[in-house]
């Protein structure tokens, strides 16, 4: 069975390609940054170009598609609304149309930032309330995709951490680099998420395809944690001085995109079908044990 994974050079896509190899023949796309992934056939493509995308579908004839490619940095989306819209919405609808035409299982990666953070934890049935352009674009994509292809699994992803792709880090790498250099890390005490490792998130996406999930599903981790407490946990595991982790507040850092205070996800629906994130500490230890830190 063939699976097509868009955004294969990105942090999530790169991890997903490797997770998928045990059960799928993996095909991936990238746009500007070429990578090499063993046992994965990669194609350079602009997903916004419908005809180019259609040719790729006709060539590969995928049995399933997971769409991870995105402009996923909220500040970039806020300052580049048209360019990010074309990536986050236009490209996504192109993929939905082709999957609908060929009745191919599709998982679309959305975000916990479709919520304003005022009424957590959020279930799939809760009304969306984005406060930044990135969140707005993902809401638009979610809604339009389900009109085009109601059988799509709309997978809302949490904050993710893990091993970097050759061209894309998670926030974890920056934290580790700072701690290794003995630099202080100023982290928010008032921003909460339900993080998961990219490996776990990838397993959740594959599960959504295999179980033929239709509609919205949350793929958050099992623990609600602030960025500050995440930093303390990382310092503890790596045996760095916890005093390097300094408490900060969202309001004290000016950024282009407004930030939600608490977009913790209730992922009970996913847990019920077999999605099983480990504790953040176990996830971190597994990642750190696999590399020399």
Domain with 176 in it: what CATH number?
3.90.25.10
Q: Is 270 a member of any domain?
A: no
Inform me whether the pLDDT recorded for 199 exceeds 60: yes
Give pTM, 2 decimals: 0.97
15/110 same-domain check: yes
91/113 same-domain check: yes
Could you give the number of structural domains in the chain? Answer: 2
Q: Is 9 a member of any domain?
A: yes
Q: How far apart are CA 143 and CA 124, in angstroms?
A: 13
End-to-end CA gap in the chain: 37
Q: Is 166 a member of any domain?
A: no
Say what angle helices 171-180 and 227-238 make with each other, to 10 degrees: 50
Q: Is 23 a member of any domain?
A: yes
pLDDT tens digits, one per residue of 130-169: 999 999 999 999 999 999 999 999 999 999 999 999 999 9
Q: pLDDT band at 34, cuts 50/70/90? A: confident
Q: What is the mean pLDDT of residues 47-69?
A: 98
110/248 same-domain check: no
Q: What is the mean pLDDT of residues 62-77?
A: 98
Q: How far apart are CA 91 and CA 232, in angstroms?
A: 39
Q: What is the mean pLDDT of residues 42-67?
A: 98
Quote the domain boundaries for residue 102: 2-160+195-218
């Amino acid at each position: 069975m063939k699976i097509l994974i868009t955004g294969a050079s990105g942090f999530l896509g790169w991890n997903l390609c490797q997770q998928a190899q045990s059960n799928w023949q993996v095909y991936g796309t990238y746009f500007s940054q070429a990578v090499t992934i063993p046992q994965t056939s990669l194609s350079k493509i602009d997903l916004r170009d419908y005809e180019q995308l259609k040719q790729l579908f006709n060539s590969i004839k995928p049995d399933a598609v997971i769409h991870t490619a995105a402009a996923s940095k909220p500040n970039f989306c806020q300052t580049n609304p048209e360019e990010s819209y074309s990536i986050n919405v236009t490209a996504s609808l192109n993929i939905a149309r082709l999957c609908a035409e060929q009745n191919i299982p599709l998982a679309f990666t959305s975000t916990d930032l479709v919520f304003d953070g005022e009424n957590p934890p959020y279930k799939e049935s809760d009304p969306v309330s984005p406060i930044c352009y990135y969140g707005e674009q993902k809401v638009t994509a979610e809604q339009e995709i389900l009109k085009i292809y109601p059988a799509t699994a709309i997978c809302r992803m949490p904050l993710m951490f893990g091993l970097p792709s050759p061209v894309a880090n998670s926030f974890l790498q920056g934290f580790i680099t700072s701690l290794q250099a003995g630099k202080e890390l100023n982290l928010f005490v008032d921003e909460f998420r339900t993080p998961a490792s990219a490996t776990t998130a990838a397993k959740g996406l594959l599960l959504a395809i295999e179980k033929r999930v239709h509609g919205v599903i949350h793929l958050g981790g099992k623990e609600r944690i602030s960025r500050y407490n995440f930093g303390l946990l990382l310092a503890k595991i790596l045996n760095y001085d916890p005093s390097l982790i300094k408490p900060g507040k969202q309001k004290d850092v000016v950024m282009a995109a407004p930030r939600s205070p608490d977009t913790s996800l209730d992922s009970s629906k996913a847990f019920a079908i077999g999605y099983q994130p480990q504790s953040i500490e176990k996830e971190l230890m597994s990642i750190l044990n696999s590399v020399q830190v």
